[in-house]
Amino acid sequence: MVNRQIQLAQYPDGIPTEQDFRMVDSPRPVPEAEQVLCRTRWLSLDPYMRSQIAGRHLSGSVGPGDVMRGETVSEVVESGSPAFKAGELVRCMGGWQQWSLHDAGELSAVHPGIQPPSYALSLLGMTGLTAWAGMVWQAGVQAGDRVLIPAVTGGVGAAAAQFCRLRGAAVIGLAGGPEKCRHAVQELGVSACIDRHAEDIPARLSELFPDGIDVYFDLVGGELLTQASERLALHGRVVLCGLMSEYNQAQRAPGPPPGFWIRARAVVTGLVVYDYEDRREEFVRQCLPDLEAGRLRQREDLSHGLDSAPAAFCRLMRGENFGKVIVALD
Ligand SMILES: NC(=O)c1ccc[n+]([C@@H]2O[C@H](COP(=O)([O-])OP(=O)(O)OC[C@H]3O[C@@H](n4cnc5c(N)ncnc54)[C@H](OP(=O)(O)O)[C@@H]3O)[C@@H](O)[C@H]2O)c1
């Protein structure tokens, strides 16, 4: 009758370490009338959690003593709601814990076509929806576009690269290390992948985009945003989505000179995936056939057991994950 949970133990200094988290055992929650008791099956680990810890995320903050928040695919164990029955899989904010209690309105049924169900947290979940909203709805990527995507083997990046490729665009990726770059070319179908640890990025961008970048999906911020903005083609689009290069830092980085965007007559948009929640079903409907036909793939950076979550999250924040970071609970 125990609920194992992971709390933030202390604020990290820079990149988080495992000592910043602690495991606690609490009593398993007991549902009241109409509540739904869920057992966590898969937990999604995402960079926004670092921003919640820093108190800089629009979804709110997490402090020492708080259970870490997170989206999960969970199994309904007891239900006081006619909308859900025991055994059903649901998507919810279950958090870094074995058990969670919800009102029915906080739960969404996992589409039975999403297999394995953990993909409801990745390719056909939040990271996929982010990629679709950025590349399809905001940038309007189409055949012939030359697209640059950093962190291209990660959750959002890999989904974005595949969506662009299926629309006939040419994608150049960036990734950390030769193994990730090989995967990007061979499995995700990008035309070329720049190893951000080993190559001269500005020189490679100039070489690979002789006529400029049509679409830049900014998942990292920092110097790359400036380098990509400087090389935009006329009417280029920049989708500002994430700041991987600065989440571990106390100071915010300065941006590129606006002249780069004026010269290109660029369209620069900010993306918050929560704004697209009411279009999630439309996105799943569009992508499910491609998943079922094997045209879309998801590499998961999977670890097992709740106790593996702090180490997996620290690896993510060091940029060492290879694929969407998921924790499978027993
Ligand atoms: N705006 C929104 O609504 C929204 C929604 C979801 C995600 N996001 C953002 O999208 C980005 C990608 O998220 P994700 O969940 O898919 O993560 P992810 O790509 O699976 O993991 C992050 C990756 O970023 C790369 N990276 C690049 N520069 C880095 C640096 N300086 N330090 C550490 N890592 C670095 C690393 O890959 P390489 O080593 O291979 O480069 C790392 O594996 C994040 O910025 C996230 O906050 C935004």
Domains (range + CATH), the chain: 2-122+299-328 (3.90.180.10), 126-274 (3.40.50.720)
Q: Which atom of ligand 1 lies nearest, measured to the CA of 153?
A: 40
Å from CA of 205 to ligand 1 middle: 20
Q: Stretch 167-174: mean pLDDT, rounded?
A: 98
**162 close to ligand 1 (CB < 6 Angstrom):** no
Reported in sequence order, the residue ranges of the chain that DSSP labels E, i.e. its strands, are 2-8, 21-27, 35-44, 72-79, 89-92, 99-103, 108-109, 146-149, 170-175, 192-195, 213-218, 232-240, 267-270, 300-304, 324-328
pLDDT over threshold 90, residue 9: yes
Amino acid 250: pLDDT: 87
Report DSSP letters for 236-296, one per residue: EEEEE---TTTTT-SSPPP---THHHHHHT-EEEE--GGGGGGGHHHHHHHHHHHHHTTSS
Q: Which atom of ligand 1 lies nearest, measured to the CA of 321?
A: 43
Question: CB count, 10 Å around CB of 292?
Answer: 12
User: What is the distance between the alpha carbons of residues 112 and 117, in angstroms, rounded to a whole number?
Assistant: 8
Å from CA of 313 to ligand 1 middle: 12
pLDDT over threshold 90, residue 296: yes
Q: What is the pLDDT of residues 106-160, one digit of tens each?
A: 999 999 999 999 999 999 999 999 999 999 999 999 999 999 999 999 999 999 9
Task: Name the average pLDDT for the chain.
Answer: 97
pLDDT over 90, % of the chain: 98
pLDDT over threshold 90, residue 330: no
